[in-house]
Structure 1
Amino acid sequence: MFTFESIDKDIYRQHLNRIIIACVVALTALSLGIAQVLIQLFPDADGSHFHWNLLGVIVGCIVIGVTLNKYKTHPYMYEVYYVWRLKQQLNYITRKRAKLNKAVEDGDVKAMQIMYFYYQGCRRLWLLDDNTITMEELSKWQTELEAQARNKRVELKKESFDKEELAGY
């Protein structure tokens, strides 16, 4: 079950930027270091070391992925991990959006609640990421949903989401 939380945008951006920089530095160091060790251990007479360089990048990515996964619940990662989970929840809904929109048109209350959560989540995410280009379009979609809900006498109040709710769509 995913529930909306209040996230400090400045802390989120600061931590995200530091994590990205750390990952870039780590990937560069790991890729080059691993590739150089492999080239020294297994030199190629042709001088092509593409496969060792590629293996260095792959191993570096795996190490960084495992490290991020291990520390995702660390307090420093709180905001970044929250946004990652929010994006994941919104992605679940996005995959079913066409069917959900059809269900909303047909008056399905559950679909209306899910789409309300989706629009609220998109707004929060886009504000955190300074992605305000499509905010006007989002407001239009949300207004249409609220009008349909009023016509069906539905109070839109969904603040949490579980991907199991999409099973029927």
Structure 2
Amino acid sequence: MQLIKINKVRYRRHLNLVIVGCIAALVIGSLAISQTLIALFPDESGSHFNWNLLGVVIASVTIAWLLNKYRTHNFMAEVVYVWELKQCLNKINRKMPKLKAASREGNADALLAIHFSYAGSRLLWQLDDNTIVMDELVIQQTELDNIAAKFNLTLNADDYDPRILKQF
């Protein structure tokens, strides 16, 4: 996965529209489906929990199907990219203890994965205006750069390949 420059304004606008659209579709869809089912199959006891639950499930599955179907649409490009980047960073974070141990021994792949994680996190935090922990990230990046210099390695986030995580 490559880190790319994201238009922050476009990303935020499209993300907000997708979120609002999903919420509206869930509310309207689940109510419409459950009320239709209740009208078609009334329950004498007055409990319509199963029909309401089925309405929510059907609306949720439909929304997930639509999001998956339109994930390649130009409108969704930034939203999908950020979602995939977060998944990639999550995979790295789950292996971070092993990566840090290997990086202290000079493992180039571990150093590269950590470097990509820091660069990706920096990109995400800037998109989300989450600059509170940016100072801590700078300290960690400096430590990583010192380790890389100790082993005469040059780290470039563009060289990262997710397959290198399999060895950790």
User: TM-score, length-normalised on structure 1?
Assistant: 0.95
Matched length: 168
The equivalent residue for 1:101 is 100
2:164 equivalent in structure 1 = 165
Hey, what does 1:59 align to over in structure 2? 58
Note if contact 2:8-2:127 (Cα within 8 Å) is conserved in structure 1.
Answer: yes
Cα deviation per residue 1:27-64 (whole Å; 9 max; x = unaligned)?
A: 11110011111111221222111121111111111100
Q: Aligned partner of 1:13: which letter?
A: R
> CA 1:23/1:128 → structure 2, altered by over 3 Å: closer, same or farther?
same
SS in 2 for 1:107: coil
Amino acid at match of 1:57: V
Q: 5 Å matches for 1:20-169?
A: 20-169=19-168
Asked whether the 8 Å contact 1:113–1:158 carries over to 2, the reply is yes
**Cα contact 2:38–2:48 (8 A) shared by 1:** yes
Following superposition, the deviation at residue 123 of structure 1 comes to: 0.3
Summarize deviations over 1:76-110 as a string: whole Å, max 9, x none.
11111111111111111111111111111122111
Give aligned-pair identity as a percent.
Answer: 48
Deviation per CA, 1:121-162, whole angstroms, max 9, x where unpaired? 000011111122221111111111011111111111122533
SS in 2 for 1:159: helix
Query: In 2, distance between residues paired with 1:145 and 1:36?
Result: 58
| In structure 2, distance between residues paired with 1:122 and 1:144 | 16
- Report if the CA contact (8 A) 1:4-1:160 is conserved: no
Q: Is residue 125–residue 131 contact of structure 2 (8 Å, CA) maintained in 1? A: yes
Supply the distance in 2 between the matched residues of 1:3 and 1:160 (Cα, whole angstroms): 8
Distance in 2 (alpha carbons) for counterparts of 1:155 and 1:69: 38
Show structure 2 runs of 5+ residues with no match: none
Unaligned runs of 5+ in 1: none
Q: Are the equivalent residues in 1 in contact too, given 2:38–2:51 (CA < 8 A)? A: yes
TM-score norm. by structure 2 comes to 0.96
